[in-house]
Amino acid sequence: MKLAFSTLGVPGLSVPDVVRLAVAHGYHGVELRAHPEEPVHPGIGSAERARVVAEFEGAGVRVLGLAGYARVAAPGEDGPVIEEIRGLVELARDLGAPFVRVFPGASAEQDAAEADAVAARRLGTAAEFAADAGVRVLLETHDSHRTGADAIRILGPVGHHHIGSLWDVMHTWLGGEQPAESYAALSPFLGYVQVKDIASADDTTPLPLGAGVLPLTECVELLSRKGWDGWLCWEYEKRWYEAAAPLPELLGAGREHLGRLLNDAA
């Protein structure tokens, strides 16, 4: 498996500095948070996109994906959501990134079946331009659809290779799903896996990998046993937890911890 980290852990850091961190600590790729607060987002022009590509390619580091914020099940008109996904897909295409992350985002007031249908319809539309761009749009296990069982209610009806799943191991665990259950549901659609660690279900402040309660060993062992050879991406959510330790000083130990898990699972 290949290893990446998300720029959620280093909010606002320049692209050259992100690349240097990846190289210094032996990560194969980086997931870029695609938000106007960050250096890379759909609003940047072609010249800046080319500079980003040059930085990553020059260092031999992959742009794994773009962490976008489109909410595919949210109430409202389809048009703005689809256009938001289109902008992310076009940016991913220009950066050579294989994946774009989207959220479910249904509201508590929505009927569950209606929310599923809305999300499937929007993703079905996005599948066509994603296929043309050679990009996969991944629905993250998150918010209204935090388990694998929730996610496949949307992904199953779409039934398109360019629409897949992003397994966030924290959210499936918080949803009461065992890793084997999550994998069984998501494996036909799986793009990559987000790993992280937290103290408890009541305290989701990010911790160094291996310092918390999430079943990372079980997840990695399961993926290895099933022959899955994709990406593990460390999403350390420093952006939302100011008191959390800075990610750069943890990256080396995190890389070593994931390496040990992979070696033990081999």
10-43 tens-digit pLDDT: 999 999 999 999 999 999 999 999 999 999 999 9
Mean pLDDT of 215-244: 95
Domains of the chain, CATH where assigned: 2-265 (3.20.20.150)
Mean pLDDT of 148-167: 98
Confidence at residue 3, expressed as pLDDT on a 0 to 100 scale: 98
Q: Is the pTM of this model over 0.95?
A: yes
Confidence at residue 173, expressed as pLDDT on a 0 to 100 scale: 98
Reported confidence tier of residue 265, pLDDT bands at 50, 70, 90: confident
Confidence at residue 132, expressed as pLDDT on a 0 to 100 scale: 98
Mean pLDDT of 242-265: 95
Strand bridging mode 203-206 / 198-200: antiparallel
Confidence at residue 35, expressed as pLDDT on a 0 to 100 scale: 96
Helices assigned H by DSSP within 96-147: 112-133
* Cβ–Cβ < 8 Å for 262, 1: yes
Instruction: Report the alpha-carbon distance of residue 34 to residue 115 in Å, rounded.
Output: 25
Residue 266 has pLDDT above 90, yes or no: no
Conformational region of residue 199, where left means phi above 0, alpha means psi within -120 to 50, and beta covers everything else? alpha
Reported confidence tier of residue 122, pLDDT bands at 50, 70, 90: very high
Give 182-217 pLDDT, tens digit per residue.
999 999 999 999 999 999 999 999 999 999 999 999
Reported confidence tier of residue 79, pLDDT bands at 50, 70, 90: very high
Confidence at residue 138, expressed as pLDDT on a 0 to 100 scale: 98
